[in-house]
């Protein structure tokens, strides 16, 4: 909230401070009303309330959107340009800002944005104990590899974070050494060497580093028992996960998919399935596990 420009902050002043705890998403579009999604409701911002109709709601000017972008990145585009090439950047607190706008490309590669037309602010939350059901079901005798999947906003990152925290804290009987490979800076939200989210006492973090490089360093630096990483799905993920498995490290990861069938339609994830990387596939919805599948993809619960 304090990183939003004053003019925009004024629009939220009527909401009590605790209202922010429930905010999941803000969508800011130049020349359009501000869409807000909380745990309980959604709507367009209009004079300190949320209304269901966009008509008459507060319109965000292009200038204020630009100001918001620069304010969120602390006037330091140079710090986020590598992330921006992938269409988003993370800010302190682990919140993620998706960016739309005029893209600068060269030879098919994204170099950055010449202007922004929309910003999607996804607010990171910490829900202690949210992964307990997963830990209780999947981590009985051994440390398994799990893939959490679901639609955007289903709580993948939140549960993954808590999964790491629970195992690191030894809730299964003994603490496991966990390495968080936080490529996007969302899982740990490392700031000045300290994670801003609780990840347990036996967790080490590599932040803003490609997963494969981070794993290589983690294996050399500290022999982790579990590596945790967000958002699998790229072609580059298979060799990296295989090398982790070869080193005897379990994997907890997340991926975008609406269903198990949808998951397998993604070529990279299909190959992970064929390679039997994961022991469990867990579908999430509204921050809870709703379906457990074993390594063969059979529904277990």
Q: Which residues bind another protein (CB under 8 A)?
A: 5, 67, 70-71, 73-79, 81, 104, 111-112
Q: How far is the CB of 215 from another protein (least distance, A)?
A: 22
Q: Which is nearer to another protein, 80 or 249 (CB)?
A: 80
DSSP-assigned states of every residue in 109-168: EEEEEEEEEEEEEE-----TTTTHHHHHHH-SSS---EEEEESTTSSHHHHHHHHHHHHH
Smallest separation, CB 104 to another protein (Å): 8
Whole-number minimum distance, CB 133 to another protein, in Å? 40
Q: Which is nearer to another protein, 63 or 286 (CB)?
A: 63
What's the residue count for the chain? 301
Q: Which is nearer to another protein, 182 or 231 (CB)?
A: 182
Range list of H helices, the chain: 6-12, 62-72, 77-84, 132-138, 156-168, 211-222, 237-246, 260-264, 267-274
Least Å from the CB of residue 196 to another protein = 17
Task: Closer to another protein by CB, 79 or 256: give it.
Answer: 79
Q: Which is nearer to another protein, 76 or 107 (CB)?
A: 76
N-term to C-term CA, the chain? 40
| 281: Cβ contacts below 8 Å, ≥ 6 apart | 146, 147, 149, 260, 263, 292, 293, 294, 297
Show the CA angle centred on residue 96, arms to residues 101 and 145, nearest 5°. 125
The distance of closest approach from Cβ of residue 242 to another protein in the complex, given in angstroms and rounded to an integer, is: 31
């Amino acid at each position: 909230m304090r990183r939003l420009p004053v003019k925009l902050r004024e629009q939220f002043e009527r909401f009590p401070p605790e209202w922010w705890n429930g905010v999941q998403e803000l969508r800011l579009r130049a020349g359009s009303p501000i869409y807000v999604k909380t745990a309980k409701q959604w709507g367009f911002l209009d004079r300190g309330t949320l209304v269901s109709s966009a008509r008459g709601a507060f319109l965000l000017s292009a200038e204020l959107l630009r100001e918001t972008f620069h304010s969120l990145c602390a006037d330091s585009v140079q710090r986020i340009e590598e992330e921006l090439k992938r269409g988003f950047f993370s800010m302190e607190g682990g919140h993620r800002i998706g960016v739309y706008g005029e893209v600068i490309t060269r030879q098919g590669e994204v170099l950055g944005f010449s202007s922004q037309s929309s910003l999607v602010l996804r607010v990171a939350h910490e829900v202690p104990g949210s992964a307990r059901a997963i830990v209780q079901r999947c981590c009985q005798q051994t440390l398994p590899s799990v893939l959490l999947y679901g639609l955007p906003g289903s709580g993948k990152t939140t549960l993954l974070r808590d999964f790491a925290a629970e195992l690191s804290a030894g809730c299964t009987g003994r603490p496991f050494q966990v390495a968080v490979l936080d490529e996007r800076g969302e899982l740990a939200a490392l700031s000045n060497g300290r994670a801003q989210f609780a990840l347990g006492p036996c967790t080490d973090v590599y932040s803003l580093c490609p997963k494969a490089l981070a794993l290589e360093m983690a294996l050399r630096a500290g022999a982790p028992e579990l590596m945790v990483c967000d958002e699998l799905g790229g072609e580059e993920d298979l060799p990296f996960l295989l090398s982790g498995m070869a080193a005897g490290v379990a994997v907890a990861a997340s991926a975008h998919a609406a269903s198990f069938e949808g998951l397998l339609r993604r070529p990279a994830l299909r190959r992970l399935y064929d390679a039997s990387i994961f022991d469990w596939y867990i579908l999430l919805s509204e921050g809870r596990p709703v379906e457990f599948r074993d390594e063969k993809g059979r529904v277990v619960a």
